[in-house]
Structures are given as structure tokens and as C-alpha cells.
Amino acid sequence: MARDYMKPGDVRTFRGGRAVVLATGIWAKREGEKWIRIDITGTKNFHTTVSNDPKSERYHRTLFRDLRRILLAHDCWPFESEGGETERRAEQ
């Protein structure tokens, strides 16, 4: 059976045209010595990042955590346990 591959930027609709599937590429790389950033790309006009640096304007704990989980599940996380602090909520 032939597989219908998607590449970043491919868009499909489902649920009667009320929702969109956007194929995105995600990867992680070191940002400085301490922090990690995850790049997210889709269409030619869409590229953004999320960081695990709480002082960065790109910090978003839950988005970083969820994307890290996807990368881990597919053996695409090169940083061992780094970034794992996003699995825990900050103490209030």
C-alpha cells in the first residue's frame, strides 16, 4: 500500500472543512550553553521557536514540554534529560 506522505507546509482539511491539519517540522537545538530551543516550521511564512528559558519572551512551559515529548517519543531529542524541568509546574 502506498503511503501518502506529508511535508512541512502541507495543509489538509478534515471534519467537514472546519479544521485544518498543517504538517510542521520540529527540531531542537542548543541556545547558548544552558538553554534549548525548539524550532517549529510549516508554511514558507511560518517559522517560530519556543524555549525552556523562563526569562525568554519565547518561553512557554507546556508547549515546550509537549513538543519535547513528541521528539523524545521519536528518538529525535539529542539532550538526554535536559528540558525535563518543564514536566513540573513552577512552585508558587
* Domain locations along the chain: 11-80
Q: How far apart are CA 53 and CA 85, in angstroms?
A: 11
Per-residue pLDDT of the chain (92 residues; tens, 9 = 90+): 556 788 888 988 987 889 998 899 999 999 999 999 999 998 888 899 999 999 999 999 999 999 999 999 999 999 999 999 999 987 65
**Run of H or E residues at 72:** helix 61-73
* Residue 31, beta-bridge partner list: 35
Residue 6 confidence (pLDDT): 82
Q: How far apart are CA 27 and CA 18, in angstroms?
A: 28
DSSP state at residue 6: -
Residue 15 confidence (pLDDT): 78
